[in-house]
Amino acid sequence: MELNYKMMGQGEPLLVLHGLFGMLDNWQTLGRRFAEHYLVYLLDQRNHGRSPHAASMSYPEMAEDLHEFMTANWIHEAAILGHSMGGKTAMQLALQYPDTVSRLIVVDMAPRAYPGGHEFIFEALRELDLSAVEDRVEADAQLARRIPQRGIRQFLLKNLARTNGEGYRWKMNLPVIYDDYEQVLAPLQSDRPYEGPALFIRGGKSGYVRDADWPDILELFPNARLETVAGAGHWVHAEAPDALFRLVHDFLRKDEA
């Protein structure tokens, strides 16, 4: 699969993966900062952003997409940074193709199964009648019936694109994301650990990476360390970009030294 991407900067390669319902645009601000030191690739994962739509989406498939991207772009080894769903894709790549991952950075995600929590978002998105939407203001008003949080609505509405006519469509492949949601929540499995250096960053106010998850993380990533960003929730890169940048940059520089 030929993933959509944006490249910036120069130096050692750093690949960045967004989370569920996201796209590479979510990481452009931090991407530009990283690009002052690294050759940064911001990617849209399958069924998201401007990347191709596919009939399924599991972590082995998304890791394979990433491996194909690296091969096609002559990237033999790179640091991989992933947030949430992108963090699981990054972990899966490191487990499947450890020689291609020089350093692993996972933002607010563990390799375990998750119970869900996006059902209200799916309901709101599937109820939105795009054929009757005249502008983004109206789309936002419809979503507000089920999603009171303005920040979440603005994040989701970045997926809205005009059709060739006067209507709107979703950039993401909403039907497949909905059908394969259980795959997104599924745990990672591997018969061997990733022995390379790994940094796990969690938000202090987020419950995605619990203290109880750490032994299981170390089984798959024995050379991992954990950093907590106080005051941040799940969206660490949006809520505490300076802290996240410093943690990642220090980790990458230390490994290069």
Neighbour-count burial of 97, counting CB atoms closer than 10 A to its CB (0-12 exposed, 13-18 middle, 19+ buried): middle
Which two tokens mark 33?
Answer: 């900062």
Looking up tokens 């069924």 gives 47
Beta-carbon contacts of 18 under 8 Å, excluding residues fewer than 6 positions away, are 24, 26, 27, 43, 44, 45, 48, 49, 83, 84, 85, 86
Phi, psi (degrees; rounded to nearest 5) at 238: -90, -35
- Give the DSSP H or E segment for 240: none
Q: Among all residues, which ones are annotated catalytic?
A: 84, 234
Q: Using CA atoms, how far apart are residues 51 and 37, in angstroms rounded to an integer?
A: 26
CA 208/CA 244 separation, integer angstroms? 16
Residue 186, token pair as written in the block: 């599924």
Q: Residue 106, exposed/middle/buried by CB under 10 A (0-12, 13-18, 19+)?
A: buried
Angle between helices 150-157 and 136-143 (to 10 degrees): 130
Helix (H) or strand (E) holding 103: strand 101-107
Measured CA to CA, the distance from residue 80 to residue 42 in angstroms comes to: 10
Cβ pair 204, 229 in contact under 8 A: yes
From the centroid of its chain, how far is CA 28? 13
